[in-house]
A and B are shown apart, each in its own frame.
Chain A
Amino acid sequence: MRWKWIIPAVYIFFLLLPIYWLLNMSLKTNSEILSVFSLWPQNLTFDNYRVIFTDPSWYSGYINSMIYVSMNVVISVSCALPAAYAFSRYSFVGDKHLFFWLLTNRMAPPAVFALPFFQLYSSIGLFDTHIAVALAHCLFNIPLSVWILEGFMSGIPKEIDETAFVDGYSWPHFFVKIFIPNIASGIGVTAFFCFMFSWVELLLARTLTAVNAKPISAIMTRTVSASGLDWGVLAAAGILTILPGALVIWFVRNHIAKGFALGRV
């Protein structure tokens, strides 16, 4: 068993290789990409990144994505908190059916919803706004949040609630002052998953936006289909979309394993 570490090491190498290749390309000029095949950039250049940071049609995409992702995380977590509490503490008419119905929305293919969403949000004048995308992503993020948070809350002993009520706390006061601090890491993990699924989703975000709220991922696909592929800029844009995710992982690194273990899963 001494050589067991080889397996994860090879796997991580396999994971990082394509990402390294993207990074490598983002630091080359376009002519170098197409003419010379090399494992590292011969003439290191940051021009591709400069294009993205100076051209509003590029960097606005990152801002748009960030806006709707954070809106979605806030909406999902704040709606899901009381609901998850209800599911974990009480039984009520139709609770199991409601829970299963919520989960089916997590499993609904976004392709099914693309066209109806487009028509719904167009008809109420929300087309091409950040809130439209944030609400659309709630479709799968709220059920997921309820699912994860319910797992965390069930792990908190009921005696905490009862003691607080005996001490004369009102429910909202108890919830904010005592309960939420107790499941802080659960909220962190939930926010991580909401961020992740909203950040990576393309189909709905692309369908619901045109100019003002266009996410970075949609801008990238547009560049692919447009004439004259600029591989270097495309690679740089890709690297920049990986960064927020990497930062989020860094902040929750201690919670991930714990969250997976304590939470629903």
Chain B
Amino acid sequence: MIAKQVNQKAWFMVLPVFLVVAVSAIIPLMTVVNYSVQDTFGNNQFFWVGMDWFRDLLASDRFHDAFLRQISFSAIILAIEIPLGIAIALAMPKKGWGVPVCLISMALPLLIPWNVVGTIWQIFGRVDIGLLGHTLAAMGIDYNYTQDPVAAWITIIIMDVWHWTSLVVLLCYAGLCSIPDAYYQAAKIDGASRISVFRYIQLPKMQRVLLIAVLLRFMDSFMIYTEPFVITGGGPGNSTTFMSIDLVKMAIGQFDLGPAAAMSLIYFLVILLLSWVFFTVMSNIGEESSNGGS
């Protein structure tokens, strides 16, 4: 790797990005901080309450439950989508007419607006008009995602697998395509088994893209809002009220600005912390592999 030239004038090139993002990130964030330490009786009269909202929130069952649901949801999503994505990417054709067919049809769910994804599955799972719900009912399985929390969870998980596994597949496929043929030929000459080819050639080459896939999938599943909002609206009961849904309910539904702002900050800090961990791990691995290569 060649050392980059030191040039402070580069700041001028970064300036437009810096300004746009600063205006659209820092000002709103300051508003949130402002609300999180004040209470109001309406009429724009605010008074200082210090850390009360944070203390209340961290002690409340409502927050614990939403947080727990969110973490379990993200964990389940990662546990299903990452191995499935790798398996599909390994089985995809490397050349011929199958490649564009696979790429186009797999990229399709990624470009559907999230609320339409919700609508599709809302319809698909309904017992009266949906193919899935109707088929399950015809097989004698009692399935109703608006009544049964387990069915609601399964529906949302299957929907997320449907929606986002393709991203993992496309990333892994790109990683696999970057492996030169010579590696496979060498492995063939050595008489390596299918499993050791995967373990010692394909997996290390996919390491970087896999980390990005895990990072993106974790972040996006942690922030999921639209799809469960459309399908279940957080119900039945509160069984699918994830963090974002709870937050929006609090902020825009009930207009509890203080607690909502406190929750926003905690939510954001959790994500920031986790993304910092991911980022550090990623750049360490990047450095190791480039050192090892040279």
A residues touching B (Cβ–Cβ < 8 Å)? 4-8, 11-12, 14-19, 21-22, 25, 33-34, 37, 39, 75, 79-80, 82-83, 85-87, 89-93, 95, 98, 100, 102-117, 119-120, 135-136, 138-139, 142-143, 146, 158, 196, 199-203, 207, 216-217, 220-221, 224, 231, 234-235, 238, 241-242, 244-246, 248-250, 253, 256-257, 260-261, 264-265
Contact = CB atoms under 8 A, between A and B. Distances in A.
Contact of B105 (A7, A15, A25, A217): A15
Contact of B123 (A95, A146, A235, A264): A235
21 contacts: A5-B93, A79-B17, A83-B13, A83-B18, A86-B10, A86-B13, A95-B10, A103-B275, A107-B219, A111-B244, A111-B251, A111-B267, A142-B17, A217-B114, A217-B115, A245-B108, A253-B104, A256-B103, A257-B177, A260-B173, A265-B174
B115 A221 contact: yes
Given A111-B264, A253-B103, A116 B114 contact: no
Given A33-B129, A109-B267, A200-B112, A82 B16 contact: yes
Contact of A92 (B6, B175, B264): B6
A196 B111 contact: yes
Given A33-B129, A110-B225, A116 B111 contact: no
B111 A200 contact: yes
Interface in B93-114: 93, 98-114
A146 B267 CA distance: 25
B157 interface: no
B207 to A, nearest CB: 12
Contacts of B4: 89-91
Given A18-B162, A85-B13, A257 B103 contact: yes
A46 to B, nearest CB: 19
Contacts of A241: 112-113, 116
Interface in B195-216: 209, 212
B32 interface: yes
Contacts of B251: 111, 114-115
Contact of A115 (B100, B110, B131, B260): B260
A83 B177 CA distance: 29
Nearest to B87: A7
Contacts of A17: 131
B7 interface: yes
B48 to A, nearest CB: 19
B28 A248 contact: no
Nearest to B117: A200
B170 interface: yes
B88 A102 contact: no
A248 B93 CA distance: 23
A116 B6 contact: no
A103 B244 CA distance: 20
Contact of A83 (B14, B93, B170): B14
Nearest to A221: B115
A249 B225 contact: no
Contacts of A21: 120, 123-124, 130-131
Contacts of B24: 117, 135-136, 138-139
Nearest to B245: A111
Contacts of A85: 13
B174 A261 contact: yes
A90 B111 CA distance: 35
A196 B110 contact: yes
A265 to B, nearest CB: 5
Contacts of A217: 113-116
B6 A220 contact: no
Interface in B106-144: 106-116, 119-124, 128-132, 134
Contacts of A15: 105-106, 108-109, 162, 166
B31 interface: yes
Given A18-B120, A34-B128, A224-B119, A260 B264 contact: no
B275 A104 contact: yes
Interface in B252-287: 252, 257, 260, 264-265, 267-268, 271-272, 275-276, 279
A105 B32 contact: no
Contacts of A249: 104, 107-108, 111
A5 B123 contact: no
Interface string B161-185: 0100110011101110110000000
Given A90-B10, A265-B171, A200 B32 contact: no
A119 to B, nearest CB: 6
- The 5 tightest CB contacts between A and B, nearest first, are A245-B111, A116-B28, A260-B174, A86-B10, A86-B13
A109 B268 contact: yes
Contacts of A16: 105, 108
A230 B219 CA distance: 35
B92 interface: yes
Nearest to B177: A261
A116 B11 contact: no
Given A90-B6, A108-B25, A80 B17 contact: yes
A104 B268 CA distance: 9
